[in-house]
Amino acid sequence: MSKRIKTAISGSLPKPAWLAEPEKLWAPWQLQGEALAQAKTDAMRLAVDDQLRSGITVIGDGEQTRQHFVTTFIDHLGGVDFVNRKTVRIRNRYDAEVPVVVDKVTRTRSVFVEDAKRLRALTKGPIKFTLPGPMTMIDTLYDNYYKSREKLAWAFAEILNEEAKELAAVGVDVVQFDEPAFNVFFDEVRDWGVKTLERAAQDLSCKSAVHICYGYGIEANIKWKQGLGEEWRQYEHVFPLLAKSRIDQVSLECQNSRVPMEFIEMLRGKDVLVGAIDVGTHQVETPEAVANVLRRALQYADVEHIQGCTNCGLVTMPREVATAKLRALAAGADLLSTELGLD
């Protein structure tokens, strides 16, 4: 097995213009029915091809079949009303029209297993599949039934665990839970957030990961980050809790961020997916810039536990920019691997 530094995307990649409006969250589909189903399959194939040609080693589906990383999963559950939406404040940053929980949430069938099977057929290498985390799910909904964020999170954790086990059973090597809400609601993370995350990942036959970032490269997130001060210390609240958890991998934001790199030391022994690609700018990183971020991370983690990753999803990027950033990510990891004499 190669000892060279692995690379992966955190989740989303841009969708082709014939599938959905480019560079937009919650972009409506351009097609319907069977034509849409086929287009999603074709888009996944392109996303995988872009990663493989760029040299990425742990392959994802680029979330090509999803309008949004949270609500698409919820759309397949019972107990949620997508017609009579409510406006909520997402992670205390921006308003969005979201579905409403009106009854007990249920999962009667798999949501992404067929997608995972298609992804598994497209590459012989390791694959990662992303799911929303329980806390981030409840922060992207209006709850009119449980009337308790914690109770709803536990309900979602059980559903996510069912889905994650089925993903592992069809050959997924890493199931990643996306929890950007962990960077905002620190008391809840401490009280029940990490516990519900562990419930979602319970007894998996593959590796588990959690992705915690500062958001997509959209205006609301960029403005929020500008007000966080000279040092972004949010991870300081979360990493010690994750270090004690059963989660195998932690994905974080590093490139062009003000996160103190030494926070990685708190995760000693975990696999750390180091965000070396900035999703808030169209400027493409050089391989040297990527290697520099990974090199700094090696001061606080053993090389076998370091992977190169993107800060967040790239769905809001032009496709040509995103692809260039993937090439830079892979080239930077290769540059450092060669420097370190890794086979």
Give residue 60's pLDDT.
Answer: 98
Give residue 174's pLDDT.
Answer: 98
Model confidence pLDDT, tens digit, residues 63-75: 999 998 899 999 9
**Segment 333-338 mean pLDDT:** 98
3-state secondary structure of 309: strand
Domain-located, residue 1: no
**Segment 321-330 mean pLDDT:** 98
Domain-located, residue 81: no
3-state secondary structure of 207: strand
CATH of the domain at 168: 3.20.20.210
Model confidence pLDDT, tens digit, residues 157-174: 999 999 999 999 999 999
Give residue 222's pLDDT.
Answer: 72
**Segment 119-142 mean pLDDT:** 96
**Segment 262-268 mean pLDDT:** 97
Model confidence pLDDT, tens digit, residues 192-241: 999 999 999 999 999 999 999 887 767 766 777 777 788 989 999 999 99
- How many angstroms separate the Cα of 335 from the Cα of each of 13, 32, 301, 308, 311? 24, 44, 18, 12, 19
Domain-located, residue 162: yes
Token look-up 């593959």 returns 206
Question: Do 193 and 185 touch, CB atoms closer than 8 A?
Answer: yes
Domain-located, residue 75: no
Say if pTM beats, i.e. exceeds, 0.85: yes
Domain-located, residue 216: yes
Containing structural domain, residue 107: 6-68+102-135+146-339
How many folded domains does the chain comprise?
A: 1
Domain-located, residue 76: no
Model confidence pLDDT, tens digit, residues 139-157: 989 999 999 999 999 999 9
Question: Do 261 and 283 touch, CB atoms closer than 8 A?
Answer: no
DSSP codes joined into one string, 77-116: SEEEEEEEEEEEEETTTEEEEEEEEEEEEE--S-SSHHHH
Q: Which is it for strands 249-253 and 128-132: parallel, antiparallel or unpaired?
A: unpaired
Domain-located, residue 74: no
Domain-located, residue 86: no
Does the pLDDT at position 179 exceed 80? yes
